[in-house]
Amino acid sequence: MRTYLLAAALLAALLSSGFSSVTSAAASPLQNLSDADIGEALAAHNAVRQRVAQAESQRLGSPVVIPDLTWNSDLATYAQEWADQLLSSDPDPDPDRRTFPHHDWGELQALGRGENIYAGWSDGGVPDQSPTAAVTWWDSEQQYYDYDTNTCAADQTCGHFTQLVWSTTTQVGCGQAVRTAAYGTQFVVWVCNYAPAGNIIGERPYDVMTVAQPDVEQQVVDLVNSERQRKFGIDKRDTLPRYCRACEVQHLCHGECPKHRFILTPDGEPGLNYLCPAYRRFFTHVDPAMRAMAELLRNGRPAADIRRRPGAAMS
């Protein structure tokens, strides 16, 4: 048994809901794809789209988003009619002369639709008629596409693949036709139409998302000016006990963090910071040096000059 495959490309959408069997010169009426066929077609398309999105996100170092396609019955009907037309008569017995042309280019442009076509045949036995076979064939063109230069390798085709993963394409509909020619060869044709169409000249099939870097400085400003932060500061000030408010270093420690204020003041008032003795000792000790550095700064000198003043250095 010999099996042959042919893929023809333009622009496109996804899979369709039509199956027709054409035996010899007689065409059978249009039949809808089963729910299982539609599900397989969508799953095959979306599996490729998500695989490429994940791989390219890792390769390019930024997110690449290629949304899943949804089924469109109008596109499916359009694709089915064309699949039936392509196999309405026996293809040429000579494989080198067989053609499976697209819809008129101007018509596709006017409708804003893309189109992928797949044809397979076998001289003995039945060729793979599944939508997965068609999508796999289109997907195989990825090896010829260079995203960085947005070009296809010389003498190769990659337009089926780029339509397959075009990120702004959101809908697909496909049709399938089969035929046994008078000379015994069995044929299968898949047509998928896509909307909005991909393969727009000068554009890539997907873009790398720009991840905005957070403005840390602005975040701090927003935090300081937030209503919640202001309330925290006011509460911290207004809940100080009288003992703290009369303290000579209160302007330096401000009672420290409220979560540490859980002991009583010497006169029995609650709300004293349990670290109060340590803070009081520390700030009292550094006070002379801090005042000296402030004076240096007021006089336009660096605070580090304190180390040159006898008796001003801290021990």
The per-residue pLDDT for range 55-64, each reduced to its tens digit, is 999 999 999 9
Q: What are the pLDDT digits (tens) for 238-281?
A: 888 888 888 888 888 888 888 888 898 898 889 888 888 998 89
Q: φ, ψ for residue 157 (rounded to 5)?
A: -115, 135
* Look-up of token digits 């309405």: 88
Q: In this structure, are residues 94 and 193 in contact, taking their beta carbons and an 8 Å threshold? A: no
Helix, strand or coil, per DSSP, at residue 315: coil
Other Cβ atoms closer than 10 A to 297: 12
Please determine, for residue 21, whether its predicted confidence score (pLDDT) is greater than 80.
no
Nearest to 135 by CA among 116, 121, 158, 115: 116
Q: From CA 168, how far away is CA 188, in angstroms rounded?
A: 29
Exposure string for 207-243, b = 16+ CB within 10 A, e = fewer = ebeeeeeeeeeeeeeeeeeeeeeeeeeeeeeeebbeb
Q: pTM of the predicted model, to two decimals?
A: 0.61
Helix, strand or coil, per DSSP, at residue 237: helix
Cα torsion through 15, 16, 20, 21, rounded to 10: 10
Q: What pLDDT sits at residue 275? A: 87
Other Cβ atoms closer than 10 A to 125: 9
Nearest to 40 by CA among 160, 132, 116, 129: 132
Q: From CA 6, how far away is CA 119, in angstroms rounded?
A: 5
Q: From CA 276, how far away is CA 263, in angstroms rounded?
A: 10
Q: What are the pLDDT digits (tens) for 129-170?
A: 999 999 999 999 999 999 999 999 999 999 999 999 999 999
